[in-house]
Copies of this chain bind each other. A is one copy, B any other.
Amino acid sequence: MGAVHKLRGARGLAGDGPLRWDGVTLEGYTDGRGATKQVLIGPADGAAHFVVRYFEIPPGSASTLDEHAHDHGVVIVRGRGTVLLGSTEHAIMSGDVVYVAPEERHQFRAAEEPLGFLCVVPPRPS
């Protein structure tokens, strides 16, 4: 059976402040750097083929420098910053789309405001 997870506050993605959804747990992410993760669609919904997560990175902070077998489909939904893909850094902002290939080194960094992005992964990422 399908599900709807309402964004709290009826402000839409363009509203100020952190994004939180009904029925979705806020998890910590990145030791001590204040980033957060929310699994918007995943095993709890019965989704077997993909997982949709939302990450938010505080101003000036960054996601972990990662390199792994699974790929990422990313859509930036708030803020601006940079993404490192391999050895190239790209400027990114709300609305931009990033594909991170398998085994590609990557890191997302927030500029002077929080950087929020949706991130799709295959189920049970390695």
Contacts and interface: CB of A to CB of B under 8 A. Distances in A.
Interface string A74-95: 0101100001011000101111
B93 A10 contact: yes
B14 A99 contact: no
- Number of this chain's copies in the assembly equals 2
A46 B101 contact: yes
Nearest to A104: B2
Contacts of A7: 93-97
A65 interface: no
A14 B106 contact: no
Given A3-B99, A12-B94, 4 more contacts: A4-B92, A13-B95, A45-B99, A45-B101
Interface of A: 1-7, 10-15, 19, 21, 24, 40-41, 45-50, 52, 70-71, 73, 75, 77-78, 83, 85-86, 90, 92-101, 104, 106, 118, 120-122
6 contacts: A4-B96, A12-B93, A15-B95, A24-B97, A46-B101, A75-B118
